[in-house]
């Protein structure tokens, strides 16, 4: 068994103003008290004795090249990015969350009440100091940018502060990301938090939603699809290794750039024209609206002969549904109806 990492708290940067240094040190001291079992095999009881780890613990997880040992389930989690927040909420872990950050969309309706009780640390990513103030023992990132070294939030720095981290599986899978990878991610988070039965129930519900959509779809002939994320001089689109490609396939589509072995990739408009998509799926997010994206595509003279443009055949998928999270089965149901409207009652 690997020995857990020794607890080391990062010193504040020289040159910071005194109040910020004091706040950071105080947060680090609070964190020391709150993170149980760091560098030990169990937490100390009030009497000073050491209590045993819960049944099934310690748990060791290798994630994106980092191996982490959990002596007990985290108690103070912070999630960064929408899909990690919704995975935690879907597993019924709101009571273990002390902060969230960076939404692309509204939280799913069934989780909004619990979400409102959790502090939002930043509109985008919180600073390292803001994280420390929450005294987390676990930070869960959806994209690698959540742990940007240039922003002072690297996994190494957080680990040295006694904070364990986890990065969504889509960022470190060698090959395409599909439903099985999402299930693996859900099971892993459930194992870390000691709620494996909740993972089973959630995955069963997700599978039921997807199966119903594909049953309605039936044995349909796939239509060729161009996924438009953004771009004017070139097009930023879904490649064959991301979950967006899997969603298109499960929805009765064929991604025209499935041969690109990346999750998302820049392509030329000439490539789009040559591959002649029958449908365009617009990813909806950010300050550029769906209507603005449609107008850009419709008013690009070079695209006029593309069947999807000629017949104005558009579908819309929120970006929050096109990432490795709990929304994927609903995305399949929604996109299936848009790509093949005649197949659904």
Is the separation of the CB atoms in 223 and 340 below 8 Å?
A: yes
φ/ψ region of 159 (left if φ > 0, alpha if ψ in -120 to 50, else beta) reads: alpha
Higher-confidence residue of 337 and 16: namely: 337
For the cut 80, the answer to whether the pLDDT of residue 38 exceeds it is: no
φ and ψ at residue 229, rounded to 5 degrees = -90, -55
160's tokens = 């040295």
Of 329, 294, 50, 56, residue with least CA distance to 215? 329
103's tokens = 């939404």
Q: What is the mean pLDDT of residues 34-63?
A: 59
Condensed to tens digits (0 to 9), the pLDDT of residues 168-212 reads 999 998 889 999 999 999 999 999 999 999 999 999 999 999 999
For the cut 90, the answer to whether the pLDDT of residue 221 exceeds it is: yes
CA–CA gap between residue 144 and residue 243 (Å, rounded): 16
**What pLDDT sits at residue 345?**
63
**What pLDDT sits at residue 48?**
37
For the cut 70, the answer to whether the pLDDT of residue 28 exceeds it is: no
Condensed to tens digits (0 to 9), the pLDDT of residues 94-139 reads 999 999 999 989 999 999 999 999 999 999 999 999 999 999 999 9
For the cut 60, the answer to whether the pLDDT of residue 37 exceeds it is: no
For the cut 60, the answer to whether the pLDDT of residue 80 exceeds it is: yes
Q: What is the mean pLDDT of residues 230-248?
A: 97
CA–CA gap between residue 129 and residue 12 (Å, rounded): 9
Going by the DSSP 8-state scheme, the letter that residue 38 receives in this structure is T
Is the separation of the CB atoms in 228 and 272 below 8 Å?
A: no
Write out the residue limits of the CATH 3.40.50.1980 domain(s) in the chain. Answer: 18-167, 221-343
325's tokens = 């999270």
CA–CA gap between residue 238 and residue 229 (Å, rounded): 8
Going by the DSSP 8-state scheme, the letter that residue 44 receives in this structure is B
Which residues, 6 or more positions from 29, have their beta carbon under 8 angstroms from its beta carbon? none
**What pLDDT sits at residue 39?**
37
For the cut 90, the answer to whether the pLDDT of residue 59 exceeds it is: yes
Q: Give the three-class secondary structure for 66.
A: strand
Peptide bond into 58 cis (omega under 30): yes
Mean pLDDT of the chain: 87
Is the separation of the CB atoms in 328 and 83 below 8 Å?
A: no
Is the separation of the CB atoms in 64 and 181 below 8 Å?
A: no
CATH architecture of 18-167: 3-Layer(aba) Sandwich (3.40)
Condensed to tens digits (0 to 9), the pLDDT of residues 266-294 reads 999 999 999 999 999 999 999 999 999 99
52-56, 249-253, 274-278: least confident range:
52-56
Give the N- to C-terminal CA distance of the chain in Å, as an integer: 55
Is this structure's pTM higher than 0.85? no
For the cut 70, the answer to whether the pLDDT of residue 3 exceeds it is: no
CA–CA gap between residue 177 and residue 175 (Å, rounded): 7
**What pLDDT sits at residue 53?**
74
* Domain 221-343 CATH class label: alpha beta
Instruction: Give CA 64 to chain center in angstroms.
Output: 14
Which residues, 6 or more positions from 324, have their beta carbon under 8 angstroms from its beta carbon? 83, 168, 169, 170, 177, 181, 182, 185, 243
**What pLDDT sits at residue 147?**
97
Instruction: Give CA 289 to chain center in angstroms.
Output: 22
């Amino acid at each position: 068994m690997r020995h857990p990492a020794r607890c080391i708290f990062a010193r504040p940067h020289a040159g910071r103003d005194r109040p910020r240094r004091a706040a950071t040190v105080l947060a680090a001291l609070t964190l020391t008290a709150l993170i149980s079992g760091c560098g030990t095999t169990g937490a100390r009881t009030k009497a000073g004795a050491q209590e045993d780890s819960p049944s099934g613990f310690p748990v060791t997880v290798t994630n994106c090249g980092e191996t982490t040992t959990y002596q007990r389930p985290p108690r103070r989690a912070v999630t960064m990015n929408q899909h990690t927040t919704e995975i935690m909420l879907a597993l019924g872990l709101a009571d273990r969350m002390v902060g969230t950050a960076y939404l692309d969309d509204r939280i799913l309706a069934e989780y909004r009440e619990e979400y409102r009780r959790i502090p939002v640390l930043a509109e985008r990513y919180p600073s390292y100091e803001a994280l420390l103030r929450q005294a987390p023992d676990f930070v869960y990132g959806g994209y690698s940018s959540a742990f940007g070294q240039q922003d002072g939030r690297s996994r190494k720095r957080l680990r040295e502060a006694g904070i364990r981290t986890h990065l969504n599986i889509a960022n470190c899978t060698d090959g395409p990301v599909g439903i099985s990878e999402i299930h693996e991610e859900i099971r892993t988070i459930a194992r870390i938090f000691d709620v494996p039965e909740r993972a089973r129930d959630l995955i069963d519900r997700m599978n039921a939603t997807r199966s119903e959509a594909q049953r309605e779809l039936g044995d349909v002939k796939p239509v060729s699809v161009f996924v438009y994320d953004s771009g004017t001089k070139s097009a930023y689109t879904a490649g064959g290794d991301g979950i967006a490609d899997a969603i298109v396939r499960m929805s009765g589509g064929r991604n025209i750039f499935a041969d690109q072995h990346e999750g998302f990739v820049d392509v030329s408009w000439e490539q789009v024209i040559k591959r002649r998509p029958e449908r365009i799926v617009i990813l909806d997010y950010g300050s550029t609206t769906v209507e603005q994206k449609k107008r850009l595509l419709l008013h690009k003279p070079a695209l006029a002969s593309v069947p999807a443009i000629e017949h104005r055949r558009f579908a819309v998928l929120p970006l929050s549904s096109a990432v490795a999270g709990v929304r994927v089965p609903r995305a399949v149901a929604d996109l299936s109806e848009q790509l093949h409207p005649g197949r659904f009652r």
